[in-house]
């Protein structure tokens, strides 16, 4: 955000919200970009053959002692939330062009 403010010739002292800079410069929020990249990688993995080492790692079960407190959010859990948010299914990953257009998060 500092770079966006600098590009517009403003500083934090001007008290202008970040959303104004993102809108003027047509820049999406970092959380939207992260979600898009996560889904892009998910589509890439789903198109790989099941015998691929990356796909075999998904099925690994690690036995360990759980720590106290809230469980950390796993990659799979975050993917499920992203898919639900954009109303996508895992089956859509087979067509790369359609998948790319559907995961694009526009403001």
CA 68 to chain centre: 27
pTM confidence score: 0.74
Instruction: Kindly report, residue by residue over 58-91, the tens digit of the pLDDT.
Output: 878 888 888 889 888 888 999 999 999 999 999 9
Check: CB of residue 9 under 8 Å from CB of residue 76.
no
CA–CA separation, 105 and 43 (whole Å) = 15
Check: CB of residue 61 under 8 Å from CB of residue 76.
no
Question: Dihedral of the CA atoms 39, 43, 48, 53 (nearest 10)?
Answer: 10
CA 88 to chain centre: 13
Whether pLDDT at 107 is above 80: no
| Domain range list for the chain | 30-62+70-103
């Amino acid at each position: 955000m500092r770079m966006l403010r600098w590009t517009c010739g403003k500083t934090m002292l001007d008290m202008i919200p970040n959303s104004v800079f993102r809108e003027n410069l047509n820049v999406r929020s970092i959380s939207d970009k992260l979600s898009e990249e996560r889904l892009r990688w998910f589509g890439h993995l789903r198109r790989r053959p099941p015998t691929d080492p990356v796909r075999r790692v998904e099925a690994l079960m690690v036995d360990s002692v759980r720590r106290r407190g809230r469980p950390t959010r796993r990659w799979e859990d975050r993917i499920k939330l992203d898919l639900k948010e954009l109303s996508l299914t895992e089956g859509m990953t087979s067509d790369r062009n359609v998948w790319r257009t559907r995961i694009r998060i526009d403001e």
